[in-house]
Amino acid sequence: MSSPFRLTDIDALSLEEAAAEHAALVAEIRHHRELYYSKDAPALSDADYDRLEQRLGGIEARFPELMTQDSPTQTVGAAPSSGFGKVKHAVPMLSLANAFEDGDVADFVGRIRRFLNLPDDTPVSFVAEPKIDGLSLSLRYEKGRLVQAATRGDGAEGEDVTANVRTIRSIPHELTAPFPDVVEVRGEVYMTRADFLDLNRAQAEKGDKVFANPRNAAAGSLRQLDSSITAGRPLRFFAYAWGALSEPLGATQSESRQRLESFGFTLSAPSRLCAGSDDLLDYYREIGRLRSELPFDIDGVVYKVDSLALQERLGFISRSPRWATAHKYPAEQATTRLNAISIQVGRTGALTPVAELEPVNVGGVVVSRATLHNRDEIERKDVRVGDLVIVQRAGDVIPQIVGFVPEPERERAEPYAFPECCPECGSMAVREEGEVVTRCTGGLICPAQAVERLRHFVSRNAFDIEGLGIERIQLFFEQGRIRQPADIFTLEREEEKRLDRLVSMTGFGKKSVEKLFAAIEARRTIALDRFIFALGIRQIGEATAKLLARAYRTAENWRDRMVAAAAERAEKPEEKKPELVGEAYAELCAIEQIGVSVADDLTDFFREQHNLDALAALLEQVKPEEYVPPAAATTSPVAGKTVVFTGTLVTMGRSEAKAKAEALGAKVAGSVSGKTDYVIVGADAGSKAAKAQELGVKILSEEEWAALIAG
């Protein structure tokens, strides 16, 4: 399975090469998540997207110092749309890890055994079920009555679609007794293929929009602001999981599924209880043979550990449960003509080539564009304008180009010449040594970068300023009204005496402009992690921003420590050991999952005077809130403590121990410093234990640690 970014095998990458590719992959994946989850307008195939995530995961496995908590391998989904009210999920709605080959399934089972320290002869059962290709939904019932329905959104917060969900006939308004006082039923809203075809025929007859596939039709139908439109669409619902519960549904996944069915829900079927990887693969192949006969689209099957007690022990990583995985089916293919290659410029200056295709039907979906990712991808596949190319898709979106089809009778065009200058501003486009991405050097003078950075700043995961979309940002930028983030918050003051003129110049109505000003004013106070994320610093996504907010607590403290770390790094740019660079830099690198790569991107940002000036101007206009730890993480004896695990742990795996510590509010660091509170040592503890002894840090055995956290 080839990487869409590089030819180089991951094992052959240097750290510098890996860091460059990692950054490019992160940017690409985030862009496609926004298109898929927030806009119902995906621009990449499921197969291509899965390969991006698989490549990213492989790089992070070999270079763990590159992994950050906001990496796409640690996060899920995208922010909810501003058109709906927002609902915070009591229990996060996470995504699933993926398996593609038979060996991946065996690895999944093996990881579970290793995490739980289970002997090979200890049986572990799994529930296997089809993976429906629809839109994830959470339904909250209180005293048996439906009180709220929400989409997954970014996993922590979704869209309130209660009114629309009440129109779906397969979702009960009242549960069949007996039922818990509180139960959140989770599953997938979907549309059968037959209903999809009927809907598209009706849409075409009315001259309305037709949908590319059943998944997009279901998502677009559910996310209508007018619930009467949703009521007219043939939506259905499969239940397969749960969130918050006032009492357990059963002791196993299979028992809990039966309870869901007793409430009145239709379940994802056919399912099977399996023992081990061989049984799971038999089920996968059987469903694959039945796939075309099923009335709905699936893109794989899902495997879940049956025992809920084992599920609880296994827990979660940032974006997915350890006890479940999705096993995907191969992609579908077709051929078409490559008409042109265009270039898009992103907010980091990355030049991304896009294949403009002769429209072609691939597995029931008509597609006409596909990303080519970067120069390496074009050269590796040797695709040229005019070629007949093989395209493939898995799921419901625009495909990837697999390669070209030789045509001996047809003379091929010259190899594609990647531009040496930015198509937006004319600045030089360069590719740094070790990087896979070609970037515009124009920086702030490049309108594509400036506008994209502002767009990121006001996006839903950042400042979430409703009414300030890309069209308005572009217009205000061209008019010189908004050039940096702080300008957004002075816009009203500058325009308040000229509102009529602003209305006439922009073409927006007076009420629309007044609403925009109100939305801007409402964002003068913002959570610290959202503030940090909004700045658009390279490699600093939502999860890493939360880590930084938790570590530094206030915007002023974070800024001052970053300035100090940047000064230290500037004096010792080649030093590999953080503790030899300086205290502030070492403190930053010691934050679990930050590491040198992310720290260097942060310090690079704070070494630029124009960034410091823009940050100072912004802090004059907005007030980031001080980070306050969640109540659940403040009552344990290790809340707020910094801990380091070293050596081989016996009573539980290292991953399980770290997860438990973080759940209790502790900060798990990767290295020992004077600010470390506890070092927990297992067998064969080495340099970290010695360092702790040297610094006078308290050392605990596994047993002492277990007694401490037990309270």
User: Catalytic one among 86, 88, 131, 641?
Assistant: 131
Name the nearest CA neighbour of 417 among 379, 469, 369: 379
- Strand order, beta sheet including 135-142: 145-151, 135-142, 182-190, 236-245
Inter-CA distances, 145 with 142, 173, 191, 263, 363, Å: 5, 6, 25, 11, 40
Those residues whose C-beta lies under 8 Å from the C-beta of residue 527, and which sit 6 or more positions away, are 549, 624, 625, 627
Those residues whose C-beta lies under 8 Å from the C-beta of residue 483, and which sit 6 or more positions away, are 450, 477
Inter-CA distances, 665 with 299, 363, 550, 640, Å: 38, 48, 10, 6
Name the nearest CA neighbour of 234 among 186, 270, 200: 200
Structure-token match 């699933």, residue found: 96
Q: How many CA atoms lie within 13 Å of 537's alpha carbon, on the beta-carbon side? A: 30
Inter-CA distances, 607 with 548, 564, 570, Å: 18, 10, 8
Those residues whose C-beta lies under 8 Å from the C-beta of residue 265, and which sit 6 or more positions away, are 170, 171, 172, 185, 187, 237, 238, 239
Dist CA 511 CA 500 (whole Å): 11
At 218, which helix (H) or strand (E)? helix 214-222
Return the DSSP state at 37: I
Those residues whose C-beta lies under 8 Å from the C-beta of residue 69, and which sit 6 or more positions away, are 75, 318, 543, 544, 546, 547, 593
Q: What angle do CA 529, 530, 533 make, to 5 degrees?
A: 85
Please list the alpha-helical segments (H only) found in 77-213: 102-116, 162-165, 193-206
Name the nearest CA neighbour of 243 among 163, 149, 358, 127: 149
With b for 16 or more beta-carbon neighbours within 10 A and e for fewer, the 159-191 pattern comes to bbbbbbbebbeebbeebeeebbebbbbbbbbbb
CB of 449 within 8 A of CB of 457? no
Asked about 131 being catalytic, the answer comes back as yes
Dist CA 372 CA 396 (whole Å): 18
At 549, which helix (H) or strand (E)? helix 542-552
Dist CA 19 CA 40 (whole Å): 31
At 365, which helix (H) or strand (E)? strand 365-371
Return the DSSP state at 698: E
Dist CA 617 CA 711 (whole Å): 46
Map 625-676 to HEC letters.
ECCCCCHHHCCCCCCCCEEEEECECCCCCHHHHHHHHHHCCCEECCCCCCCC
CB of 224 within 8 A of CB of 306? no
The amino acid that residue 188 corresponds to is E
Those residues whose C-beta lies under 8 Å from the C-beta of residue 52, and which sit 6 or more positions away, are 4, 5, 25, 28, 29, 32, 44
CB of 320 within 8 A of CB of 74? no
Dist CA 219 CA 215 (whole Å): 6
At 128, which helix (H) or strand (E)? strand 125-132
- Bridge partners, 137 (sequence order): 151, 187
Which residues are identified as catalytic?
131
